[in-house]
Structure 1
Amino acid sequence: MTMSDDNVFRPNRRGVLAGLAVSLFAPGIVRAADDSTAGSKPGESKGEIARSDEKAADAPPQLAGDYANERHVFRTDLLSKGPAPDIYEPLVTPSTADQLFYRSGLGGELELVAWVSRYTRSAKPKPAVLFLHGGNAIGQGHWQLMKPYIDAGYVVMIPSMRGENGQKGNFSGFYDEVADVLAASNRLRHLPGVDPHRMFLAGHSIGGTLAMLAAMSTKRFRAVVPISGNPDAYAFFGRYPQDIRFNTRNPREFQMRSPLCYAHSFKSPVKLFHGTEEAHFDSRLALLSKRATAAGVKMEMATVPGSHNSALPGEIEQSIEFFRSVAV
């Protein structure tokens, strides 16, 4: 399904945020990063554009058309329907946050939980950050990571997605969840005292990929920071086929989940982050940046010392610097 902007543990890789959310913060269940860019492509589309000298025969095709428009006509075909795959914590609101609900799904059929930082309204509306958590379940550790944004003066929201933490809705893997992101952003921008013109988007790991796809779907965000997101759904699901819920015989299912296929569709300035120990992301993110900048998108790429988890505090601090450079 698609929506408009306004409607719009297992031990080996879904563990605790080692050395981060556990040892530094409260426990949180998350999924570890995809650590491979290997994976076969089920097929290619008629809309494929010549890749010239990209020298990446296994890269997803670059397609014509705008991603946002394609979302309005594409319907994902879920052959298996059910909740998100990660083991989860109870949805207990962190002590420094407030819980609110936002509606997503066709006709707003899904009522989903989001956590929002407490703030006092001021004469000047406050900037806001929508942060998309890693993994397919939200946990207390995710919220603890938001303190730098809050201390910097941002209103922060972390939304849960359909099928997560025992909530209603069918997990689709990088597709219908984008509609949830758009719906959550609509809820955030309408909160009292929030400046809708200074709303920023960031996400980590799976949330980083969702941040890319959401940034191609709307002009709503002033700037976007995907952190350790994989822009290649072929590679991601090639490594984690157990997460596939959609019809793999249709190559469009992969393409609509791959930011690399629509890199020209980003509608906000973007800065891509990943850790220096995540070299497996280098080639795909470099290709994403190459395709995007060739189309006139303002996109930067940076690495921060550390691994998928240990680099995250530094990446969050640098994302604040980036957001400030775009809009005070």
Structure 2
Amino acid sequence: MNAPKESLCFTRRRTVLAALGASLLLPQIASAFEVPAEPEEMSGDYEEERRKFRTHLIKKGPAPDKYEPLVAPPGADRIFFRSGYGGELELVAWVSRYQRTLKPRPAVLFLHGGNAIGQDDWTLVDPFIGAGYVVMIPSLRGENGQKGNFSGFYDEVDDVLAASDRLRHLPGVDPHRMFLAGHSIGGTLAMLAAMSAERFRAVAPISGDPDAFAFFDHDRKDIRFDDKNPREFQMRSPVCYAHSFKCPVRITHGTEATHLSGLVAKRALAGGVRIETAVVTGDHFAALPTEIAQSIQFFKSVAA
């Protein structure tokens, strides 16, 4: 990993630790929801359940993270895609520069961590580009000063699917070899998107949290929905619908993270899903280079 990436990992790690330290100084507010030791496995297909469910946002507004201008990083072009009801949201995505070849090229939709996209996110996808993939990183509703209401793991899934539509229709991209990956919050969204539509050849969530109950118990300030309704959490929890993955899955996380990947795999396997899990030495950020390299190998094993 080069120096800028190491700096990125240090900066983000420092930010996470600072936030955790600050939370210890806040008054202990009783949660309006209970955190189950093992989230319930729900029946039904997640894609179908999404068609029937509408999240109830108690608070509407932008994504919570600080952000920088949406200027395309070196080696990328800025493009736009439409999302939301009736396509009312115009969102920015960054796409790697490439030349069309006689044979269409495979592509990776990479979902960034956190709730804002930054220049440093682009450095993470260098290995995918080097491996020959066309790469897109989309921004999501409410991020970086854009329109739309942040919902936390729900309406953002629509943005991911909209971005995938834009990617698979780019000139020279093979729509039959489109892969999905994501880190942290992006890893969770990658799982939910891969349950929501049959269009990805494989998905590689990295350090995504499959349990929304536990995630929002630690980040209650980011809750915008009705936390008195358990369905709001279930519909944001991949572990509750692990049988609904519509493509092969490889879940990875670092050794310093607690995770329910084993339970996700157990439920997915019972539903006939091809899934594997791996633990990589390192924390949430230090494990990233190895996790991304393993994701590339996984994608190649599914479809070169």
Taking structure 2 as the reference length, the TM-score comes to 0.91
Structure 1 unaligned residues grouped into runs of 5+: 1-18, 45-56
Query: Given the alignment of the two structures, is residue 320 of structure 1 paired with residue 296 of structure 2, yes or no?
Result: yes
Match of 1:297 in 2: 273
How many residues get paired? 292
Question: Structure with the greater relative contact order (CA < 8 A, sep ≥ 6): 1 or 2?
Answer: 1
Counterpart-to-counterpart distance in 2, 1:137 and 1:164:
5
Amino acid of the structure 2 residue aligned with 1:317: A
> Which of the residues 285, 298, 313 maps onto 2:261?
285
Corresponding letter in the other structure for 1:23: S
Q: Deviations over 1:179-217 (max 9, x none)?
A: 000000000000000000000000000000000000000
User: For 1:238 and 1:32, how far apart are their aligned partners in 2?
Assistant: 16
In structure 2, relative to structure 1, the CA distance for the partners of 1:32 and 1:268 (3 Å cut) is farther
**Residue equivalent to 1:23:** 7
Q: Check conservation: 1:28, 1:138, Cα contact below 8 A.
A: no
Kept after mapping to 2: 8 A contact 1:228/1:274? yes
From 46, 65, 71, the counterpart of 1:92:
71
* Residues 99-248 of structure 1 mapped to structure 2, 5 A cutoff: 99-248=78-227
Among the aligned pairs, what percent are the same residue? 67
1:52 maps to what in 2?
Answer: none
The residue number in structure 2 matching 1:66 is: 45
Q: TM-score, normalised by structure 1?
A: 0.84
Structure 2: distance between partners of 1:241 and 1:276: 25
Q: CA RMSD in A?
A: 2.4
Q: Does 1:264 align with 2:246?
A: no
Change (3 A) 1:127 1:156: same
AA partner of residue 302 (structure 1): A
- More helix by percentage: 2
Amino acid at match of 1:42: F
CA distance in 1, matches of 2:32, 2:268: 21
CA contact (8 A) 2:254 2:280 kept: yes
Note if contact 2:107-2:135 (Cα within 8 Å) is conserved in structure 1: yes
**Secondary structure of the corresponding residue to residue 166 of structure 1:** coil
Is the contact made by 2:9 and 2:286 (CA closer than 8 Å) also made in structure 1? Answer: no
Structure 2 runs not aligned, ≥5 long: 21-29
